[in-house]
Amino acid sequence: MTSLLHVDSSASPIENSVSRQLTALYAERWPGRYVHRDLARDPVPLIGPAYVTLGTRVEREGAGVLPADAGEEREWALTEPLIAELRAADVVLLGVPMYNFGVPTSLKAWIDRISFPSAYDDAAGQSVLRDTTVIAVLTRGGAYGPGTPRAGCDFQEPYLRAHFGKLGVTDLRFVCAEMTRADDIPGLAEFREMKLKSLAAAREQLIAMR
């Protein structure tokens, strides 16, 4: 039975969130094990100094290092369940609205915490995530695709591509809906047709992936 880890990071409720609506479209008929993590409703605590100290020691001494004090034990207790969730997933579905040209703070906090040194290395030194599929559903209020005036302001997809590549993910897929604010920002009204086409294409991609 395949396992899906569904991570939403939008600060908006589903009725106002295109990213939540799109990830729900993919997840609603998932046939296997399903875990939903809502980073807005249940935010991951920011990493603290004890996390950094423990991680640095692991990098120096190896994966067998144990927490040395109460602070490190607390940080590991917050971190280990998130790593276990990710390791157990066959498919990871991320809902990622663009906030200020990048990813939401809630998602960045999750990424910082799961990115613990050696957390995904197997006995042969390979990443256990090499067979994991990651689907990142990106939503943008404007247009940031290749050839658009703001293409150089997209720090959303390049960041996710670099991060999950570093963790060893080789099957990373992006689904993108642009101009999602065309209905409510007067200056974007002329792009409503572009919004509808982009949203329809994103839905078709997600349905085809299920």
Give CA separation, 133 vs 19, 48, 108, 159, in Å: 18, 29, 19, 17
Virtual torsion, Cα 11, 82, 48, 105, nearest 10 deg: -20
Q: Is 168 left (phi over 0), alpha (psi -120 to 50) or beta?
A: left
Cβ contacts of 93 within 8 Å, gap of 6 or more: 4, 5, 6, 7, 23, 26, 27, 135, 137
| Positive or negative torsion for Cα 56, 57, 62, 67 | negative
**Residues in the annotated binding site:** 10, 17-19, 98-101, 139-142
DSSP 47: P
State how far the Cα of 88 lies from the Cα of 173, in Å rounded to an integer. 19
Cβ contacts of 17 within 8 Å, gap of 6 or more: 8, 10, 95, 97
The pTM of this model reads 0.95
Q: What pLDDT is recorded for position 123?
A: 83
Residues 126-151 have pLDDT tens digits of 999 999 999 999 999 999 988 888 99
**Residues in the annotated binding site for FMN:** 10, 17-19, 98-101, 139-142
Q: What pLDDT is recorded for position 64?
A: 82
CB count within 10 Å of CB 2 equals: 12
Average pLDDT for runs of 10 along the chain of length 210: 94 97 96 96 97 94 87 96 97 98 98 95 91 98 90 95 97 97 91 95 94
User: Into how many domains does the chain fold?
Assistant: 1
Enclosing domain of residue 59: 3-209
State how far the Cα of 150 lies from the Cα of 181, in Å rounded to an integer. 15
Q: Are 120 and 163 in contact (CB under 8 A)?
A: no
CATH code of residue 86: 3.40.50.360
Q: What pLDDT is recorded for position 95?
A: 98
Q: What pLDDT is recorded for position 1?
A: 67
